[in-house]
Amino acid sequence: MNNIPLFDILPLWVTYLCIVVLILIAIWLGISFARWRKNKVGVEDDGPINTVVGATLGLLAFILAFTFGMTTSRYDARKHFMLDEVNAIETTWLRAGLIPEPHNSEVRQLLVRYVDLRVCLAKTECDAHEVIRESEEIQLAIWRHSTALVEMDHRNGTINTLFVNSVNHMFEQQTKRISAGIIDRIPPLIWMALFALVILAMFEVGFLLGKMKKVNLLLMLVLAMAFSAVILIIVDLDSAKGTIQINHQTMFDLQQRLLRRM
């Protein structure tokens, strides 16, 4: 699995507090080390230290931008695939009107249930794995109708082909949505690199702060909260159950259209 289950288990506010505490600990360790070294070595030239801190913060900014770009690309893909699935389902619904009974009515009833599952998932009222399981059962049922049509009526080959193509396209969209919504997550190695750089950068910032006569605790807290907020946005966008979700209004509208046409 290309994810860290901890981020899916903990509430976002708990994740945020944990990141803030982690950063504060790293800064404080840097301050403590700076004071210990000052007592041990004495006054040092800050030039090389400033260069190292700047380079580390630059690397941290790079990996933050990289991971943020990954999550926003995935967010855009989820929106695109959802719209494609809405169009694919409605196309299948319309083409089902071209096939004979009882396949016509039964396929359309299955499509209504198919859309209901997606609406239920969008409202976070259903478990994603249960929705996938039931959706696959509906797909098998629809495919049995497609097979029966081809075997039963060879005269309407063009209509059957149109219907089967729309069914295949609809099935493909579910695979794409599962991939973009559940499977394609930020790899653990990138998370480890990100947090390693955060700890190193904050330790070095703390080292610089420790050279001051008096440490500004408010500055430490603001710094920790700012970096934690950016990381939290990345965590939220990467999570399948985050608060930043795509707008499912087009799927809701499709559900209403299909119910009116039944």
Return the DSSP state at 125.
-
Distance CA 254, CA 209 (A): 57
- Cite the DSSP H helix spans in 123-156: 128-152
Distance CA 230, CA 250 (A): 30
Residue 163's nearest CA partner among 135, 194, 137, 142 is 142
Question: In this model, does residue 1 exceed pLDDT 50?
Answer: no
Residue 245's nearest CA partner among 12, 22, 59, 6 is 12
Residue 202 · residue 27 · CB < 8 Å: yes
User: What would the mean pLDDT of 180-201 be, rounded to a whole number?
Assistant: 90
CB-CB neighbours of 187 under 10 Å: 14
User: What would the mean pLDDT of 139-164 be, rounded to a whole number?
Assistant: 84
What b-and-e string marks burial along 122-139, b requiring 16 or more CB atoms within 10 Å of the CB?
beeebeeeebbebbeebb
Distance CA 237, CA 76 (A): 11
**pLDDT at site 246:** 87
pLDDT tens per residue across span 24-48? 999 999 999 988 887 777 666 666 7
Distance CA 102, CA 117 (A): 23
Q: What percent of the chain has pLDDT over 90?
A: 56
Question: In this model, does residue 102 exceed pLDDT 70?
Answer: yes
The mean pLDDT of the chain is 88
**pLDDT at site 194:** 94
